[in-house]
Structure 1
């Protein structure tokens, strides 16, 4: 019993005196498919406190990201894989397709990462975490291989590209 109290006290002290952990969004890759769906891969780095929260099943980054994407996009999103540092999704009807002279124009929605802070603030460990939700790099690929790249942006504007 004394040993458990000692271990719990040491863990509590470590949490109190340890520097705040930092979540970072490393890379967001969006591949727009010919049928207007998209394959989305999000690479991130979790802080030690977030890693513990995931291990204890307090939070699930893949499910949190899925919910955020569904809320932003307004379409169903499926988690296709989840690991400790990345999550992959499939989003039906991600882009809107319109006919253009000799081709099709794909229009993607804008994405705003600042809303993720409100989700984080709902967790007990939020004061212990410094989060940067702006991906260091965001790449959007269109069906013809055209790409748009953004660095350290808190929001990605809506995009349009015509595939001939």
Structure 2
């Protein structure tokens, strides 16, 4: 009778070691900045089976981990406004600085680094089993004047400045 649970445990361990290294895929990060400098942020991702199970069992909360990483990066409160199995929707007040001088508006965004998020994820039990690359395939920053900055597979996004 004890052999069945033991066999199941052995098979589960083998599955973990035989399975190829899995990875979370960061698909896109879309940041829309409003006239007052606040930002609406949409982050889409794809989870592998290990991460999906971790989320399902509530061992990891992607929204809260992203919120913590962003608050650490921006040093400002971040609000989670929505989440589903493949995306997190956030808002950040005063994300960008907005100045007006001589009828000209200038918006400055902070630099972004996904390296801190990768370091945070390395603290989880499944870290040795996965390969994490949080740099989104596409990062888009939309400014109030309609201009757009786009970056591909960038771990670091430099500060952006737009004037109109």
CA distance in 2 between partners of 1:120 and 1:40 (Å): 20
**Gaps (5+ residues) in structure 1?**
none
Shift of 1:16: 1.8
Deviations 1:89-124 (A, max 9, x none): 000110111113323111110001112221111011
TM-score, reference length from structure 2 = 0.94
1:80 aligns with 2:63: no
* Aligned residues: CA RMSD: 1.3
Deviations 1:4-63 (A, max 9, x none): 443333222211211111112110000001111100000111121111111111101111
Secondary structure at the aligned position of 1:35 is classed as coil
1:141-156 equivalences in 2 (<5 Å) = 141-156=142-157
CA distance in 2 between partners of 1:15 and 1:113 (Å): 27
TM-score, reference length from structure 1 = 0.94
CA distance in 2 between partners of 1:81 and 1:4 (Å): 39
Checking the alignment, whether the CA contact within 8 Å between 1:100 and 1:162 is kept in structure 2 is: no
CA distance in 1 between partners of 2:157 and 2:14 (Å): 40
Aligned to 2:95: 94
CA distance in 2 between partners of 1:41 and 1:11 (Å): 35
Aligned to 1:117: 118
CA distance in 2 between partners of 1:7 and 1:146 (Å): 56
Secondary structure at the aligned position of 1:138 is classed as strand
Aligned to 1:39: 40
CA distance in 2 between partners of 1:21 and 1:48 (Å): 8
Aligned to 1:22: 23
**Gaps (5+ residues) in structure 2?**
none
Checking the alignment, whether the CA contact within 8 Å between 2:28 and 2:44 is kept in structure 1 is: yes
